[in-house]
Structure 1
Amino acid sequence: MKSRIIIPFIVCLCMAMGTAGVVWGGASPEGSYAFLFSSGPYHQLERMDETATALYTAAYTNNRQAAFAELQRLNKLLDNKMLRSYGSADGWSAMEHDAAAVERALSSGVKHSLWLEHTVRLRMGADALMNGKAALWHQYKALLTHDVNTLKQAWKRQAGDPVAAARATLQGLSEHAARIETAAMFAGDPIRMRELMERIAYAGRLLEGKQSTVSKTEVDQSLDAIRLVINRIFLEDKQAAAVPAIAPPGIGQPLKWALLLGTIISGVLTWTGWRKYKARPYGVKKL
C-alpha cells in the first residue's frame, strides 16, 4: 500500500528537479536542454574550428580535393541552428559569403591565391567563436596600428610620390582589416568594423584623385579617424559598448513542458495515494 505513495513521490521529486534544471539552465545556449539530443554545442564549435583550420591548410598547400571535402563539412556546420545561437547574425552571414566564394573558386578552377584570403577569414571567424578573448584576431591590433603609422609616414614623405606610396600602403591595411572582419563581427562590434572598412575605402578614394587636388588636411583627418576606429574595435569588453550577440532562437521546449506535466501528474498520484492510505492505513487483507 505504501508503494502507491513512495513511487509517485520519488517520480514527482525527479520531475520537479528536472523542470527546475531546464528552466534555470535554459537562459543561455550552454545551459539549454538541447545538449541532451546532440553531441553538444561546444563540441560542434570545436569541429567547426578544426574544419576551418583544415580548410585553410588545404588552401595554403593548394590541395583542392582536401579543400573541397573540408568545405562540405563546413557548410553542414554553418547550417546548424544550434551553432547560430552564438556570435552575431552579421558574422554568420560573412562566413556564408566566404564559404560561397571558396566554392565558386574551386568549381571554376581559379588560382588558390585568389581564394586563400576567404579561408583566412573563415579560420579567423571560427577561432573567434571558439577562443573568445584569446582568439587570433586580437593580435592584429598591433599590425593594423603599424599599418596606419607606415601609411602616415608614406603620406608625409618628401621624396618621390607620396600619394602612390600611401596608396600602396593603404592596400595592405585594407587586406589586414578584411581578414579580421568576420571575427570582429562575432566578438566585437560589427558597426565599428563596417565603419573601419568604409573609412579605409574613403581614404582610398581621396588618394585616387590627382595629386594636385588631394587635400592634405582631409587625408590626415581620414587617417586619424582610421586609427581611432581601430582602437575602439579592440577595446576591452568592460570599456566597449554592448557586444552584439544574437539571442537564442525562440524554439519550443517540449522537454520542459513534459517534465512540468509529469511533475503535476505524479504529484496528484502521490496526493491520491496518501488520501487512500489515510482512509485505509492497513489496506484490504485477504482471508
Structure 2
Amino acid sequence: MLGARNWKWTGILMMLMITGTLLLGCSSVGQSKVAAIPKPSQEQLHKVELLNKTADDMYQKVMKGNFEGGRVGLQQLSDQVPQIRFEGITSVEGINALTETITQAKRVFNAAKINAGEGQVYAAKIRLATDALTHSNQPMWLQYYKLLQDDVNLLEQAAKQQSKADLQKIAAQLDQHYGVIHPSLLISRSPTDVEKMDSLNTFVKTQISSSAEPYKNILNAVTPMRQTLDKLFMKRETTAYLPYADQQNPILWTLVIGSVIMMALGFAGWRLSRKNDGLVTVQRIDEA
C-alpha cells in the first residue's frame, strides 16, 4: 500500500513537472517569435514622423480650401514613401493600403476640376493612415468607433422598420465612414479581421441593391458587424482577464509562472525524497 501511495504522489509530481516544462517551452517559442520581429531603426522612425508631419500639413491646407497646397503636399508624400523601410512598423497590406490611397488621391487632385468633398475625404484618409504608422497604441482613427456603431444601430433600426430608402441612405453613410479609416485599419490591424468587416459591409450593400426585401438578411448581419467592430477597435472587456499585465507582456508572465511552478515542484520532490526514504506513513484507524 505504501509503495502504491508513493508511486501515486510521484506520478502527480511528474505530471506537474511536465506541465511546468511545457509552459517554459511555450514561453521560449514565444520569445523566439518576438525576437524574429524586426524593430524599426531610429532612421525609419524619423522618416515616418516626417511623413506624418507632411500629411498633417497637407490635410490642414485642404481643409482650408487650399487644394493647390494640398497637391504639393501630396506629391511630397508620394516622393517620401519609397524612401522608407516599413519593416517592423506595418504589414505588406498596410504599405499597399497607404500607397494605393496616395495614388487614388493624386488622381482626384490632378483632375481638371477638383471635387472639394472628395479631396477632403482623401486628405483625411491619408492623415489618419500616417498617424496610424506613428501612433500604434492610440491612433486617431479609434475616434471613429462611436460613429460606426451609430451607423450600425441606425441600419438595424431601418431594417426593423423595413424602410428601404433609409437603408440605402444609412448603408452609404456607413460605407463612407468605414472607407475613411480603411487604410488605417490595414496598417494597424490583422488583414483577416479587416477582410471580415469588408465582407459584411459588401454583403449589406449587395442585399440592399439586389433584394426586394433585404431586411431579414441585414438584421442577421448586424450582430457580426458589431462584434467585428469591437474586435477591430479592441473594445473587449479587459477586466475579465487577470492579471491585466499579462496582456502587456504575456511572455514575461509565462516565464514567472513557469519558474514558480518548477521551484515549488522541486521543493516538494526534495521533501518527499527526504521523508521516510520517500515512504508515506499511514496510521491504522484504531491507532489514531
Give the structure 1 partner of residue 154 of structure 2.
150
1:135 has 2:136 as partner: no
Give the structure 1 partner of residue 205 of structure 2.
204
Aligned-pair CA distance for 1:175: 0.9
Match of 1:92 among 92, 95, 109: 95
Contact 2:52 2:130 in 1 (8 A): yes
Query: CA–CA distance in 2 between the matches of 1:236 and 1:219?
Result: 23
Q: Give me the TM-score of the superposition, normalised by structure 2.
A: 0.64
Contact 2:97 2:187 in 1 (8 A): no
Give the letter for the 1:190 counterpart.
P
Q: What aligned pairs does 1:16-31 form with structure 2 within 5 A after superposition? A: 28-30=38-40
1:216 has 2:237 as partner: no
Aligned-pair CA distance for 1:210: 5.0
Give the structure 1 partner of residue 233 of structure 2.
234
Give the letter for the 2:206 counterpart.
R
Match of 2:106 among 103, 108, 114: 103
1:53 has 2:63 as partner: no
Query: CA–CA distance in 2 between the matches of 1:78 and 1:51?
Result: 11
Give the structure 1 partner of residue 4 of structure 2.
none
1:169 has 2:170 as partner: yes
Aligned-pair CA distance for 1:26: 10
Residues 35-65 of structure 1, C-alpha deviation per residue, up to 9 Å, x if partnerless?
Answer: 5xxxx22221211111111122222223122
SS of aligned partner of 1:132? coil
Residues 204-236 of structure 1, C-alpha deviation per residue, up to 9 Å, x if partnerless?
Answer: 11112353xx24332211222221211121226
Give the letter for the 2:39 counterpart.
P
Give the letter for the 1:194 counterpart.
E
Give the structure 2 partner of residue 190 of structure 1.
191
Give the structure 2 partner of residue 179 of structure 1.
180
SS of aligned partner of 2:83? coil
Query: CA–CA distance in 2 between the matches of 1:223 and 1:96?
Result: 31
Contact 1:163 1:207 in 2 (8 A): yes
- Alignment CA distance shift 1:27-1:148 (3 Å): closer
Contact 1:102 1:115 in 2 (8 A): yes
Structure 1: gaps of 5 or more residues: 1-24, 240-287
- Relative to its length, the structure with more helix (as a share) is 2
Q: Give me the TM-score of the superposition, normalised by structure 1.
A: 0.64
Give the letter for the 2:85 counterpart.
M
Structure 2: gaps of 5 or more residues: 1-34, 242-288
Residues 95-128 of structure 1, C-alpha deviation per residue, up to 9 Å, x if partnerless?
Answer: 1111112212222232221232122111111111
Give the structure 2 partner of residue 5 of structure 1.
none
Identify the structure with bigger relative contact order (alpha carbons < 8 Å, sequence gap 6+): 1
Give the letter for the 1:133 counterpart.
N
Contact 1:84 1:92 in 2 (8 A): no
- Alignment CA distance shift 1:230-1:83 (3 Å): same
Say how many residue pairs are matched.
203
SS of aligned partner of 1:115? helix
Give the letter for the 1:138 counterpart.
L
Query: CA–CA distance in 1 between the matches of 2:70 and 2:188?
Result: 26
Match of 1:124 among 118, 123, 128: 128
Give the letter for the 1:219 counterpart.
I
Give the letter for the 1:225 counterpart.
P
Aligned-pair CA distance for 1:200: 1.1
